[in-house]
Structure 1
């Protein structure tokens, strides 16, 4: 009927005259309703579902059709379109392939989305000539999902489908003609074959001038409909101009701006291959004809000149219910919270102990808690996303699909409590706080060098041309400061020493993910890679990129630790050896009462010697003809953790107060007394924990910062190149700032002029 078609073309607007006429005819024949469905009366098509109908909500029963991965029965969906003309003439059934895709040449296989699990997304600007391609008639569609009980007719051509299905049972309904047009509650059958009507959610639908089907997903107050169209270039032609048959341009063209077909698989009833009724969500848009256009070519040229575009989108999505996964993630979430609290308590306890109970830097507590939070929840997210990626890509039988973003805010939910995008931002901020704490500790700690060198007597090593005024007391020469300057410069060089190269990690990521094409593995295709028309998934991208970065960083660390630093060189431990050669020790105070002592007192009489004497000293050590370098007799350990007593710390503060600080430090209020607080304690540090004051000892934090920076920008841009660029810039700035601040701190705390530090 003409009223039916016009109502559909008006997007079911209840204020439209055609829709009012349809409602009047429906009310007049209310006694002739079919199957007690007041929305479907005889001699009229069933356009609407009952308001508040639960047909495609989670309460709906699953369709008795078993899904499977490709190459198995049930691996390809089959949708049929019942086509009608404007006057209601039935035009036959069509196989759904690319009827909903207005983008020309958008996919190598436009029907690939019918393969179970293969998502498809096509977006483009529709050419104006494409919009004007149907100016004589409009085709209206009712969509059905075809399935049969045995699966034997899944590949039967549509022309033979009716006869083949009728042979499987006594039903006389032909599958090549549409089922009763208002059959909205159950599938129409023909023998063993079934056509399930697909409900349509038109986001343009209005009731009393109010939008009913608001963005945000299906709710029980939405109005679901049955019939839709793709392109309308007919109703916009004025009747005075001869109507559609005149060939004149329409005043407006209405087209399918967005079509989203969603398949939701059930997972909470022991039958994960059963699906809920599919849902088709569509949105229409209008293009107004430019006043100067008199032909299709002018129509296109004027639109281009005025900057008017016609965007179009087709999206096929496969997803599933996540009730079972949510329960597991809830338990992991609770465990993560408990673990975070435990780690935070341990960090705070250690901080308090290292300050002998006089702890007042509460901002450090915040930074330590933030670091624990970033660590625990980052690996929780990574574990869940990697777990999902393995399930999705390695499944041999269909049982898992990836989650979809929430319609309102496009958030991907990892469990009921963790919106992925929000958590990545929070984790990045938390890690930034951790890096601030790292900068404060590594660039503001106290350090000083102890030069054990003794003055030489006047007759030893003094040259004839030396001025007598350079001698101390007329009987000895002063100790040269150049060894201290040299050692300080070597310590400055170690400030940016790294075990892991951020640049190499990022290059490995770029090469593997983009160069080798591994990025195609994150496309929404089970057990395989997709093409450009197959959308990527943010959580799969996070799992892949993070895994590659962590693997590249861990591989570097293991190589450096197991081979390079043992067989080639370790710059940090070489510095410890240098201290022994130069006869200089170093004290590094990470906290007020805690730090490290690097013992460098030489076993020789003098370290300030010429090359011959230096080689002779080293030869004596190699032949074990002198005492060992260790702090204690018969020990080679040169590095120690130290705990300073209050008295020792007060003497240090008093000695340096007038030089290092603007005003003398006051004695802190008495705190609680501990036994170890009354004496200084030295503990052997054979593992090199003093590296904590260098980037080389905080590799984990630096790598975490790089990874989270990459993840943040990759999430925002979905572009590997941009994310790598910003990750490198942030890492470079961090190292540059830290190196500069550390150099200034070394100059200030060692009382050396910064002009001597290169």
Structure 2
């Protein structure tokens, strides 16, 4: 009987026909083909081990334990002579030793002119245990989703994070994979002496059960039971009565992930042994033409990020402490300007608002620094020493950005309230010219009074004051347009892809790796800051000096209009523009104004 995840247990015609005969031939005669067939039936059962010894894996383990006299192959204690290598040990607990005790020298540098490939090869067998051939994994051997050869082979380019997914019809799967093929994976690499070696690639089968428990589905490596052999589609063991009929259930490798980890502090591209993680989906056949299954294949590159996290935490602690001191200084300055010496609730609230803005700057500095660090050290490295964080390892980075945005929004609201509460006074120094006769209401008499001064100059200055409220050292429209131009037209956005290429252009036929959130933020922030810095230099050094300086023009206009501006931002602090004219009068005709200007010249 073959158990499936949907609670279905059926009597397999293939197992009924071949299980006992293969086990007997393997046990009694050490027949290699029969042992391979028995191993394949164990793989069809998801390599699951239980107390029962009557299933394929139980029979295989019985033969394995009782054939120690046959010796081992290539000094590998898990590999018996005349038996396929299916398990790394007979119980969980050896995964950390297998995955971390050995280092493989793969690549010494990133080539910017030629992609460096990981040389995965596979020994393939049919269900009856016959060896078929050795073959490279290039060409989509493990990738069920169809695509071009170039995009399929990009999965094995070192440093390129690869993701592929699609929806495949069950009828197509039954047509293309009528007979299962089993693969033993190896990685070809060069040793320190330059000689080529093969390293057996372990498999983490998420459907494997050990004593009725899915031990491989947790994150604790010490609970894993690693295996060796895998298949893509099993449409054979699900046939109940007749091997010539359609199966009742098929089992599909719906998710395959190849994980490659870089050894910490390496300068020569040394990696730990790769790990292939497989998750199978059982499909109950009802109407193959309408049924479909989601398939995904991915290759992830990772490294230990604990040291980088510690450095980030230290930086956050130091800058956060400095932000506290800076906020205290700003709060003390605010207290002096308000003329108050009492530490009350308003003072505490003001300190928290100041600290929110300063802490937002700290988070921004850390995120920009982190983004630029990974952008430079990953894309520009020649000797492989760092790999990008996985999306799951970017959560702290995303949290920092969210904190920076939230705290900056709070500071923006506080700044908006402060600007709305500023008192602005326009002081008109113009003195009346002569006297006019004016009727006094209620008395019926006419008296002479000082001639009134026109209010229109004050209105004009107030209007000009409103217009310069949006004057900046940068042009926002040009800033956004320039950043988009460099990102999308020049191609700087391609530097944010999770691959080793530093090219700004990509071919439409080539594989496009997924975006890295850290690289995207780092690239965008670096461009934004660089263009803003250049604009500030241009406006300060060239434009305001040789074209126009609107702030200086406003001050000159105040002097010509004989009006001063007094801005009271706090109770005891403000700003003053002295606009009193040296000529005494500004409310005059054009001729007198022209004479006054000639005097200044």
Task: Quickly name the TM-score band, shorter chain normalised.
Answer: 0.7 to 0.9
> Please, which of 144, 148, 165 is the counterpart of residue 186 of structure 2?
144
Match of 2:480 in 1: 506
Aligned positions of 1:457-536 closer than 5 A: 457-458=434-435, 474-529=448-503, 531-536=510-515
**Residues 502-581 of structure 1: matches in 2 within 5 Å?**
502-529=476-503, 531-581=510-560
Aligned mate of 2:230, from 225, 228, 231: 228
Q: Equivalent residues in 2 for 1:433-472 (5 A)?
A: 433-458=410-435
Q: Which residue of 1 aligns with 2:20?
A: none
- Find the partner of 1:211 among 207, 214, 239: 214
**Bigger shift: residues 431-440 or 502-511:** 502-511
1:394 aligns with 2:368: no
Q: 1:613 to 1:57 in 2, by over 3 A?
A: farther
Indicate how the Cα distance of structure 1 residues 145 and 503 shifts in structure 2: closer, same or farther if over 3 A, else same.
same
Aligned twin of 2:158: 116
5+ residue gaps, structure 1: 153-191, 294-298, 304-308, 414-418, 460-465, 623-758
Whole-Å separation in 2 of the counterparts to 1:472 and 1:527: 91
CA distance in 1, matches of 2:83, 2:565: 94
Counterpart contact for 2:497–2:512, Cα < 8 Å: no
Task: Map Cα deviations across residues 49-80 of structure 1 (whole Å, 9 max, x no partner).
Answer: 23111456774231255544348999432111
Within the alignment, does 1:105 sit opposite 2:147 as a pair?
A: yes
The aligned residue for residue 355 of structure 2 is 369
Of residues 310, 315, 334, the one that matches 2:298 is: 315
Partner residue of 2:262 out of 257, 262, 265 = 265
Question: Structure 2: how far apart are the matches of 1:9 and 1:403?
Answer: 35
TM-score (norm 2): 0.82
Distance (Å, rounded) in 1 between the aligned partners of 2:446 and 2:272: 95
Aligned to 1:156: none
Write the distance in 2 (CA, Å) between the matches of 1:480 and 1:107: 82
Deviation of 1:447 after TM superposition, in Å, equals 1.8
1:602 partner SS? coil
Alpha-carbon contact 2:203-2:275 (below 8 Å) kept: yes
**Rounded Cα–Cα distance in structure 2 between residues aligned with 1:457 and 1:71:** 84
Question: Do the aligned partners of 2:47 and 2:57 also contact (CA within 8 Å) in 1?
Answer: no
Matches within 5 A, 1:346-365: 346-358=329-341, 360-365=346-351
Q: Describe the SS at the equivalent of 1:111.
A: helix
Determine the C-alpha separation between the residues in 2 that align with 1:287 and 1:125. Answer: 14
Question: Which 10-residue stretch deviates more, 46-55 or 438-447?
Answer: 46-55
Change (3 A) 1:24 1:289: closer
Displacement after TM superposition at 1:26 (Å): 1.4
Instruction: Please name the residue that 1:80 is paired with.
Output: 121
Cα distance between partner residues in 2 of 1:615 and 1:388: 63
Q: Which has the higher contact order (CA 8 A, sep 6+)?
A: 2
Unaligned runs of 5+ in 2: 1-35
Contact 1:122 1:314 (C-alpha < 8 Å) held by counterparts:
yes
Contact 1:56 1:278 in 2 (8 A): no
Measure the CA separation in 1 of the matches of 2:368 and 2:47: 46
CA RMSD of aligned residues (A): 3.2
* 1:48 is aligned to 2:87: yes
Corresponding residue of 2:394: 412
Say which SS state the counterpart of residue 110 (structure 1) adopts: helix
Alpha carbons of structure 1 residues 209 and 444: separation in structure 2 relative to 1, 3 Å? farther
C-alpha change, 1:349 and 1:10, in structure 2 (3 Å) is farther
SS in 1 for 2:85: coil
Mean alpha-carbon deviation: is it higher for 194-203 or for 103-112?
103-112
Who is 1:599 aligned against?
578
Instruction: Report how far residue 435 of structure 1 moved.
Output: 0.7
Contact 1:445 1:591 in 2 (8 A): yes
Q: Is the 8 A contact 1:29 1:42 kept in 2?
A: no
Quick one: distance in 2 between partners of 1:478 and 1:49? 101
Relative to structure 1, the CA distance from residue 282 to residue 596 in structure 2 (aligned partners, 3 Å threshold; closer, same or farther) is: same
Could you tell me which residue of structure 1 aligns to residue 21 of structure 2?
Answer: none
**Cα distance change, pair 501–27 in 1 and its aligned pair in 2 (3 A):** same
1:635-670 Cα deviation digits (max 9, x unpaired): xxxxxxxxxxxxxxxxxxxxxxxxxxxxxxxxxxxx
Q: 1:362 to 1:617 in 2, by over 3 A?
A: farther
Q: Distance in 2 between matches of 1:573 and 1:18?
A: 93
Matches within 5 A, 1:140-219: 140-149=182-191, 192-207=195-210, 209-214=212-217, 216=219, 219=221
State the Cα deviation string for residues 344-395 of structure 1 (Å, max 9, x = none).
Answer: 2322222222223346343332221111111123112212321221111222
Cα 1:135–1:390 shift into 2, 3 Å: closer
Aligned partner of residue 216 in structure 2, secondary structure: coil
The reply on whether 1:256 has 2:253 as its aligned counterpart is: yes
CA contact (8 A) 1:69 1:75 kept: yes
Q: 1:131 aligns with which of 173, 188, 192?
A: 173
Residues in 2 aligned to 1:473 and 1:220: alpha-carbon distance in whole angstroms:
105
Greater CA drift, 517-526 or 249-258: 249-258
Give me the whole-angstrom Cα distance separating, in 1, the residues matched to 2:202 and 2:52: 24
Cα separation, 1, equivalents of 2:408 and 2:85: 58
Confirm or deny: 8 A CA contact 2:52 2:58 kept in the other structure. no
Match of 1:615 among 558, 571, 594: 594
- Distance change (3 Å), C-alpha of 1:598 and 1:65: closer
TM-score w.r.t. structure 1 length? 0.66
| 1:661 corresponds to | none
Secondary structure in 1 matching 2:487: helix
User: In the TM superposition, what is the alpha-carbon distance from 1:228 to its structure 2 partner?
Assistant: 0.9
Note the 1:731-746 alignment, pairs <5 A.
none
Does the 8 A contact of 1:581 with 1:602 survive in 2?
yes
Kept in 1, the 8 Å contact 2:105–2:190? The answer is no
Determine if contact 2:203/2:276 at 8 Å carries over to the other structure.
Answer: yes
Task: Give the stretch that moved more between structures: 450-459 or 104-113.
Answer: 104-113
Q: Select 1:279's aligned residue among 275, 295, 298.
A: 275
Query: Residue 225 of structure 1: CA displacement?
Result: 1.4
Q: Shift in Å at residue 400 of structure 1? A: 2.5
Alignment-derived partner of residue 239 in structure 1: 240
TM-superposition CA deviations, 1:532-577 (whole Å, max 9, x none): 4322222111111111111222222221111112222222222222
> Which residue in 2 is equivalent to 1:667?
none
Count of residue pairs brought into register by the alignment: 548
Whose strand proportion is higher, 1 or 2? 2
- Equivalent positions of 1:415-426 (< 5 A) are 419-426=396-403
Residue 11 (1) aligns with residue 46 (2): yes
Aligned mates of 1:334, 1:134 — CA distance in 2: 58
Residue 590 (structure 1) aligns with: 569
Task: State which of 341, 358, 372 in structure 1 corresponds to 2:324.
Answer: 341
CA 18–104 in structure 1, closer or farther in 2 if over 3 Å, else same? farther
Shift of 1:199: 1.0
Q: Are the structure 2 counterparts of residues 28 and 104 from structure 1 closer, same or farther at C-alpha, using a change threshold of 3 Å?
A: closer
